[in-house]
A = this chain, B = another copy of it.
Amino acid sequence: MAGKVFFGVSMSVDGFIAPDSPEELMGKQWMELQRWVFPLRFFRENLKLGKGGEEGRDNDIARETFERTGATVMGKRMFDAGERMWPEEAPFHTPVFVVTHEKRVPWERPGGTTFHFVNDGIEAALEQAREVAGERDVRIAGGGETILEYLNAGLIDEFSIALSPVLFGSGIRLFEGVDAGRIALEQVRAEHSPRVTHLTYSVRER
């Protein structure tokens, strides 16, 4: 059985997942968007921030998302931002397929993350990811534009939103430009923690 293709992001109540540019000052709101993640034991361990941290349902969900993922796909903008920020042991621990026009040999990081640079489009990147993921799932990690390309192409099976109690007012909207006439959703589940609401939807064509 082939795995699913999914994405999972933190979103503000007004639908934003990031500030307009990585440099932009969105301090308070950005921190509030991600507030549920930072204290988690899984997050701290995975980003080598030190031992300890919170356990509980939020932590389980973060860990389950990681464990289901057999391969990762991301856009060039996410890779460029991450290349400067990730620790040497990048936090994916799977093959990562970067959709880009740049030609580059695979970049192997300690801990099982190898970045492959795919020059022939989102479908080719996904095909390669599916192959290495086997029965596990493929995560479309980001950014927003790349997620939307996959969604509008009908290539997403399921997605999860961690809806954080914050309003952005401006920034990058997750669903800006979504082909709403083609995409129907079904609720899969909703789980509430003190910091965030986890919403999962499956996707089908109308």
Q: List chain A positions with a Cβ less than 8 A from chain B.
A: 13-15, 28-29, 32, 161, 163, 165-170, 173-175, 177-181, 183-187, 189-192, 194-197, 199, 201, 206
Contacts and interface: CB of A to CB of B under 8 A. Distances in A.
Given A14-B173, A166-B185, 7 more contacts: A13-B199, A29-B180, A165-B186, A165-B187, A169-B179, A187-B195, A190-B192
A7 B82 CA distance: 40
- Which of A174, A179, A199 has the largest number of chain B CB atoms within 10 A? A199
A199 B29 contact: no
Nearest to A199: B197
- Which of A175, A180, A184, A185 has the largest number of chain B CB atoms within 10 A? A180
Given A185-B166, A192-B189, A175 B14 contact: yes
